[in-house]
């Protein structure tokens, strides 16, 4: 069975500071990995995805994530956060495209001025 753990429930970061959100997954084969962002009252927006190739992937809004097979991790990073990055972030894993996504519980990011 596939599962995702996001160890940090809530992170507070200052505007302009760097951000790293942790994600650990459990899956038997090579997973498809995703990061989604959800603003209050909104649906989910895809930030980036990984399924093969370069283990450092670039996404929208200046986000990047690194796949580390040895650590079963897919951590999300941003060098300098903006107030608009305050949101809920979800890591997800799937056996492939068009397959069910298994989500972590999410990490809430608060940005202080």
Q: Annotate the chain with three-state secondary structure.
A: CCEEECCCCEEEEECCCCEEECCEEECCCCCEEEEEEECCCCCEEEEEEECCCCCEEECHHHCEEEEEHHHCEEEEEECCCCHHHCEEEEEEEECCCCCCCEECCCEEEEEEC
The piece of 18-26, 68-76, 77-85, 95-103 that touches another protein (CB under 8 A) is 95-103
The residue range among 14-22, 23-31, 34-42, 77-85 that interacts with another protein, by the rule CB under 8 A, is 34-42
Other Cβ atoms within 10 Å of 49 Cβ, number:
17
Please give the residues from 72 up to 91 whose contact with another protein meets the rule CB under 8 A.
90
**Among 12, 26, 45, 80, contact with another protein (rule: CB under 8 A):** 45
Chosen residue from 59, 104, 109, 111 binding another protein by CB under 8 A: 104
Among 26, 42, 71, 84, binds another protein (CB under 8 A): 42
Using the rule CB under 8 A, is 34 a contact of another protein? yes
Residues at the site binding another protein, with contacts judged by CB under 8 A: 4, 34, 36, 42-46, 49, 90, 92, 97-106
């Amino acid at each position: 069975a596939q599962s995702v753990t996001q160890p940090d429930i809530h992170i507070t970061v200052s505007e302009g500071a760097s951000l790293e959100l942790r994600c650990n997954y459990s899956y038997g084969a090579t997973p498809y990995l995703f990061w989604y962002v959800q603003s209050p009252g909104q649906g989910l927006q895809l930030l980036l995805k990984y399924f093969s190739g370069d283990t450092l992937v670039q996404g929208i809004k200046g986000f990047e994530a690194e796949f580390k097979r040895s650590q079963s991790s897919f951590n999300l990073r941003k060098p300098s956060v903006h107030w608009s990055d305050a949101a809920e972030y979800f890591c997800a894993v799937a056996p492939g495209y068009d397959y069910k996504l298994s989500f972590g519980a999410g990490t809430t990011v608060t940005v202080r001025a």
